[in-house]
Amino acid sequence: MAEGRYRSLSPLKWKEMKDGRLIYREELKYSDFTMDFPERFEVPDEGGFEVKGEGDFEAAPLLSKIHDDWVAQQLQRLSDDKVELLSLAGWKHGYFIDVKSGKSAALKVSLVDWLPFRLVFRVGKGASLRATVVAPSGMQREKDLKLVASRLDVMCEPGSDLDLAYKVGSSSVEFIGFSADLRASSSLKLHALHVARSYGRHFGEVVVGEGASLSANVAEIIPKSSFGDSMFNVRHASQSGSKVEMRAVVLGKGVIRGLTSVPKGAIGSNANLQERVIMIGKEAKAITSPSLDIHEKEVQARHGSWSGRIGDRELFYLESRGLSEKEAVSLLIRGFLSPFERVVPLEEILEGISIGRELRARAADKARFPNSIKT
Amino acid sequence: MMKMVLIVEQLCVAAKSGKDILKGVSFSLPDGEVRVIMGPNGSGKSTLALTLAGSPDFLVKSGRATFDGVDLLSLTPDERARRGLFLAFQKQVEIPGVPLRDMIWEAYRARWSGPSRPSMIDFRKKLSATANFLSLPEAFLERGVNEGFSGGEAKKSEILQMFMLQPKLAILDEVDSGLDVDSLKVVADAIRRFVEGGSSALIITHHFNLLNYVEPDVVYVMKGGKIVDEGDINLAKIIETEGYSRWGVE
Amino acid sequence: MEGITELKQLNEQVVMYLSREKGEPDWMLKKRLYSLSVFESKPIPTWGVDLSELKLDELAYYVKPDVEKVSSLSDLPADLKKTFEALGIPEAERNFLGGNGIMYQSEVIYERMKGGLANQGVIFMSMDEAVKKYPDIVQKYFMTRCVPPTYHKFAALNGAIWSGGTFLYVPKGVKVSMPIQVYYLVDHPSMGQFEHTIIVAEDDASVEYIEGCSAPMYVKGGLHAGVVEIFVGRNARVRATTIQNWNKNMYNLGTKRAIVEEGGKIEWVEASLGSKVTMLYPASVLAGRGARAEHFYVSMAGDGQVLEAGAKVAHAASDTSAYVLSRSISKGSGRSVYRGEVKVNSGAMGSRSSVKCDSLLISDESSTATFPTEEVYESDADVSHEATAGRIAEEQLFYLMSRGFSEEEARGLIVRGFMEPVTKKIPLEYAVEFNKIVETEVKNGVA
């Protein structure tokens, strides 16, 4: 990847290794979070996945496919972060889903119980797959499993199409990694929704091959007292297109970063990265950093970001139709998140996020706050 | 034998993607005449106009075009323009930060063939008068070329340029679409004046309205990348009432 | 200063010698020594452009000009007079400047302010003189809360070994209608130029300050690490314009920062052509309610150049606003980078910030990058950032060519239009010259 020199906001840094225990301390200035890496990592035997669908596909437990070179390669995919080592635990409950050349399938993967998971998808030449992955929210096993790392890795062979939607997010400390390798003329339509209920990190990386196209919608919901860190990186080959929209509803603390890089030779590429963050309430804090690194002139690249409160004009319009502020805000947020309806009903997303209370508190502040702040 | 300002022979043109658009277009335009090309969407009218002007988006596969006795297709777009070819663009092109007045002045100056240098004062007077005639407010002359112009204003900008640059042949690509009644009248008037001055025009249009003001010498019908019929203004009237069904188009 | 014409080392003795020769008060020497210790304690930053080739130990930290201070431009030696005439400086002074200064190597050799301004209480003199003549005012502002020595390594370097620069003070309610200009010329090889400028506009005052800088092509190496500290009072206005054309060997690591009080406005206009490496991030601290910052940048990076620019805006009060527009061109193997930071503090309700950066790539080898960060700690805010990158649109080229412009001419026009929103903020005479240089470079730079 070209030098992505954005500020290192890596929230967890390896602090010390003592008696086989790794202790992590969060270094972001406004959040203090310490985590003990468990000495032994137990993953329950029961539980796991349910894969239901139709069409021509093969769904096999990961462990049974280890001898497949390609699968083995995917399983070794780890980012630089040592925390990802944890995702190895997900092997136990991992599935390899394969759609062979020219075939098509539609399926749904449901996590029956909360667990770290490992999913590897391969869509063969000219094949097409529509997949939905839904992890249950809020349910957590009361074992010493406080830290969870899961991964979803995808490979689209030349000419294939993948329409993938996934929703993740639980009450634990969660690291979700996503990667996609889009070969020539393949296409990926992605909807990824992450609800960070305490501390969640959601990183995605896509390599867009020649003539391939990426359309990604990535959303983060960060309720009050939660912290979410989201990053999406796209690397282009020639004549490839990407359109990434990252959006977040932040009541807690969020970091949303995107890097699009276009190396020399990626002629005719078209890249568009947009970040939109709606901030609600007194506690809301958001750091955004969309970055572009372009080494080829025959391209069109653009990015944009916007953070702030919900549009006054839109709010006013709805209120003038008789909606209360809370109803109007809910409606606007639904609209904001409507691309994700496929993955989970909006009520579930907004459940527990008490927007109304936040708005009233903010209005009271406005009256009390001083006119200027000492530097 | 009439002098031909433009002769097009068996022109075959494809888009950059490889798709064939013009499949053997042939016609000629005598000096001083006004000829009109009509046809349904997708028949290749704009492609023809853009190709004649030298657009980099199209590939000439075969055929010839001669402009004022010279091989047109071997010239760069600016060479064609300096020899007296003008294209009024259908699709608006914006050039932010380059004031319209300045751009026209530089193009005007480049073509100036008088004995002494062109006078900036005379130019500005003429420009203001023409803008006024077209009901294009002076303020637009300060804006970037077509920057933030509405569709109608952009068309007027094209006609304004045509007037100032006095080409031998003006190719007008749907310069009447999207204009309100008043603007249409003003633009049509301008074209009429232009033609009465002895210049030639190739007008691409969908609508009959313009032809109430500017009577064409010949009307061509294009379909599927070729010219399929030729007639006079009555042909245009038929199209107005019957559409293109006569040539097998819904 | 007698005797020594060049100081080629940087240590406590050198700093003490310089301070003594300048006849500075004790507090300034203390500040210099403190800055020196900060400089020595900080490492060279690695998060931006590669600075590994910057040879700090091969610099001349102070170079006395071989020209005495003059009171009129016509008293300058012939070759310098010619240089400044070519730059249009005497003409500018006659026609539209309210004050004019020249810094050559490490000292100010000329300064002149039109009479009326002195009567209104405006102070315009070299920083060295101001330290001695107005110690109380200067001490209040010099590297205190705007750019402290701890800001970063090169600010500390400036604090230790600064020489020359401008002190411009505009009292309450005074509106200086004609711009004040200082020109910086360096033609000594491997020299460090460390001017220190302070601009203070008291409540309801307004002033425009222009900096021009250049060093001829043959000058090798060199570092420019100037510091500009600006204080904008309540409802005051300051516009600071810099037209930079250092030679292409120079490292340009300056620091610029402004603190804006309630209702005040700071406008930064930066036009950059030269230097081998530029890392310039003018910062605006919006400290009072309704304060506003506007940053306008235009730059062109050619072969062997990496030009980084960016805006650092801090919204530290409610209803503050900022607008940033950056237009950069990369040609040859040049690289232009936007690296910016917008921060909205908790409680800075009603803050609005909008950053727009556009990059034009002219040649096959050019590159560009944008690394913005927005830290919003207040939900009642509106913060946006937009960037585009790519080559000149073919349809624009074709359109102009179809009007008779050659491809070269068309390209020149489009580039001029691209820079226009920024160049229109520069005095016309300089803008025309700047445009000419860019267009020539672009014509020569197409692969």
What are C36-61's pLDDT values in tens digits?
999 999 998 888 888 888 888 888 89
Q: Which of B93, B164, B168 to mutate to test the interface with C (most CBs of C within 10 A)?
A: B93
Q: Which of C403, C415, C416, C439 to mutate to test the interface with B (most CBs of B within 10 A)?
A: C403
Per-residue pLDDT, A319? 66
Q: How far is Cα C160 from Cα C157, in angstroms, rounded to an integer?
A: 5
Total of domains in chain B:
1
Mean pLDDT value across residues C249-254? 92
* SS3 (DSSP) at B122: helix
- Residue A330 structure tokens: 């809910």
Contact C391 A298 (CB under 8 A): yes
- R_g (Cα) of chain B, nearest Å: 18
Lowest mean pLDDT segment, chosen from A307-321, B98-112, C167-181, C372-386: A307-321
**Which residues of chain B have a CB within 8 Å of the CB of C407?**
76, 78
Start-to-end CA span in chain C (Å): 50
CA distance C301 to chain A (A): 14
- Residue B235 structure tokens: 């042909």
Q: Cβ(A272)–Cβ(C387) under 8 Å?
A: no
Residue spans of beta strands (DSSP E) within C153-305: 166-170, 180-185, 192-193, 196-201, 206-214, 223-224, 227-232, 237-245, 251-252, 255-260, 265-272, 277-280, 283-286, 292-301
CA dihedral of residues A11, A14, A19, A20 (deg, nearest 10):
90
Q: Which of C345, C361, C362, C374 to mutate to test the interface with A (most CBs of A within 10 A)?
A: C374
CA distance C45 to chain A (A): 13
Q: Is A338 exposed, middle or buried (0-12, 13-18, 19+ CB in 10 A)?
A: exposed
Q: Cβ(C435)–Cβ(C243) under 8 Å?
A: no
Q: How far is Cα A346 from Cα A23, in angstroms, rounded to an integer?
A: 37
Res. C268 pLDDT band, cuts 50 70 90: very high
- Find where tokens 């990053």 sit: A231
Per-residue pLDDT, A29? 35
List, for residues C304-345, the tens digit of each pLDDT value: 999 999 999 999 999 999 999 999 999 999 999 999 999 999
Per-residue pLDDT, B27? 94
B225: amino acid identity, one letter: G
For residue C283, give every residue at least 6 positions away whose Cβ sits within 8 Å of its Cβ, in sequence order, or none.
C256, C257, C258, C311, C312, C313, C314
**Which residues of chain C have a CB within 8 Å of the CB of A361?**
none
- Phi and psi dihedrals of A175, rounded to 5? -120, 115
Query: Does the beta carbon of A357 lie under 8 angstroms from any beta carbon of chain C?
Result: no
- Phi and psi dihedrals of A70, rounded to 5? -65, -45
Distances (CA, A) of C28 to A212, C103, C138: 63, 21, 10
Question: Is the C-alpha dihedral spanning A131, A227, A36, A10 positive or negative?
Answer: positive
pLDDT tens for chain B, 250 residues long, are 678 999 999 999 999 878 999 999 999 999 999 999 999 888 999 999 999 998 888 999 999 999 999 999 999 888 888 889 999 998 888 888 788 998 888 888 877 777 788 888 999 999 999 999 999 999 999 888 888 898 889 999 999 999 999 999 999 999 988 788 888 888 888 898 998 888 999 999 877 888 888 889 999 999 999 999 999 999 998 888 888 888 876 5
Q: Is C95 exposed, middle or buried (0-12, 13-18, 19+ CB in 10 A)?
A: exposed
Higher pLDDT, C300 or A321: C300
Q: What is the CATH number of the domain that holds B86?
A: 3.40.50.300
Distances (CA, A) of B146 to A255, B127, B136: 40, 16, 12
Contact A373 C316 (CB under 8 A): yes
Count of residues making up chain A? 375
CB atoms within 10 A of CB B51: 24
DSSP per residue over A190-249, as a string? Answer: EEEEEE-SSEEEEEEEEEE-TT-EEEEEEEEEE-TT-EEEEEEEEEE-TT-EEEEEEEEE
Distances (CA, A) of C29 to C19, C25, C61, C105: 6, 7, 16, 22
DSSP per residue over A271-320, as a string? Answer: EEEEEEEEE-STT-EEEEEEEEEE--SS-EEEEEEEEESPPHHHHHHHHT
- Phi and psi dihedrals of C116, rounded to 5? -50, -35
**Which residues of chain B have a CB within 8 Å of the CB of C410?**
78
* Number of inter-chain CB pairs under 8 A, A vs C: 150
> Across the interface, which of A292, A362, A372 has its CB nearest the CB of C380?
A362
Higher pLDDT, A171 or C376: C376
Q: Is B14 exposed, middle or buried (0-12, 13-18, 19+ CB in 10 A)?
A: middle
Distances (CA, A) of A356 to A121, A251, A348, A352, B28: 41, 12, 16, 11, 73
Q: Pairing between strand A118-123 and A58-61?
A: unpaired
Q: Which DSSP letter does residue A335 get?
A: H
Per-residue pLDDT, B16? 81
- R_g (Cα) of chain A, nearest Å: 21
Q: At what angle do helices C153-161 and C12-22 cross, to 10 degrees?
A: 50
Per-residue pLDDT, A169? 77
- Phi and psi dihedrals of A115, rounded to 5? -160, 160
CA distance C407 to chain B (A): 8
- Residue C351 structure tokens: 């803050």
- Beta-bridged to residue A95, according to DSSP, are A61, A119
For residue A115, give every residue at least 6 positions away whose Cβ sits within 8 Å of its Cβ, in sequence order, or none.
A43, A44, A47, A48, A90, A93, A141, A148
**Which residues of chain B have a CB within 8 Å of the CB of C400?**
95, 103
- Residue B55 structure tokens: 């657009």
Per-residue pLDDT, C358? 95
Mean pLDDT value across residues C268-289? 94
Per-residue pLDDT, C352? 94
Distances (CA, A) of C342 to A31, A233, B50, C239, C358: 20, 22, 45, 20, 17
List, for residues C183-198, the tens digit of each pLDDT value: 999 888 888 899 999 9
Distances (CA, A) of A268 to A195, A239, A301, C367: 36, 4, 10, 15
Per-residue pLDDT, A101? 93
Angle among Cα C199, C201, C205 to the nearest 5 degrees reads: 145
List, for residues C226-238, the tens digit of each pLDDT value: 999 999 999 999 9
pTM, whole model, 2 decimals?
0.83
**Which residues of chain C have a CB within 8 Å of the CB of A304?**
384-387
Q: Cβ(B226)–Cβ(B23) under 8 Å?
A: yes
Per-residue pLDDT, C47? 83
Q: How far is Cα B31 from Cα A226, in angstroms, rounded to an integer?
A: 77
Contact A307 C374 (CB under 8 A): yes
Question: Is the C-alpha dihedral spanning C392, C395, C396, C397 positive or negative?
Answer: positive
Contact A285 C346 (CB under 8 A): yes
Q: How far is Cα C147 from Cα C169, in angstroms, rounded to an integer?
A: 17
Q: Cβ(B183)–Cβ(B213) under 8 Å?
A: no
CA dihedral of residues B53, B58, B61, B65 (deg, nearest 10):
-10
Q: Containing domain of residue B85, as a range?
A: 4-247
Q: Which of A273, A131, A283 is nearest to A208 (CA)?
A: A273
Q: For residue C432, is pLDDT > 80?
A: yes
Contact C376 A294 (CB under 8 A): no
C20: amino acid identity, one letter: R
Q: How far is Cα C71 from Cα C185, in angstroms, rounded to an integer?
A: 18
- Residue B9 structure tokens: 């022979």
- Residue B80 structure tokens: 């064609």
Q: Which of A243, A187, A253 is nearest to A220 (CA)?
A: A253
Per-residue pLDDT, B109? 82
- Beta-bridged to residue C284, according to DSSP, are C258, C313
> Across the interface, which of C259, C361, C383 has its CB nearest the CB of A307?
C383
List all chains that touch chain B, counting a touch as 3 or more CB pairs closer than 8 Å: C
Q: Which of B236, B244, B243 is nearest to B212 (CA)?
A: B236
Selected residues 292-321 of chain A with any CB under 8 Å from a CB in chain C: 292-309
* Averaged confidence pLDDT in chain C: 92
Contact B77 C418 (CB under 8 A): no
Q: Which of A287, A297, A333, A362 to mutate to test the interface with C (most CBs of C within 10 A)?
A: A297
Mean pLDDT value across residues C14-23? 93
* SS3 (DSSP) at B7: strand
Per-residue pLDDT, C262? 95
Q: How far is Cα B80 from Cα B57, in angstroms, rounded to an integer?
A: 17
- Beta-bridged to residue C168, according to DSSP, are C124, C199
Query: Does the beta carbon of B81 lie under 8 angstroms from any beta carbon of chain C?
Result: yes
Ranges of residues in chain A with a pLDDT under 70 are 1-48, 74-91, 112-114, 136-147, 171-172, 312-323, 345-375
For residue C363, give every residue at least 6 positions away whose Cβ sits within 8 Å of its Cβ, in sequence order, or none.
A297, C330, C331, C332, C333, C445, C446, C447
CA C47 to chain centre: 21
- Phi and psi dihedrals of A83, rounded to 5? -60, -30
> Across the interface, which of A291, A299, A373 has its CB nearest the CB of C370?
A291
Q: At what angle do helices B100-111 and C407-423 cross, to 10 degrees?
A: 150
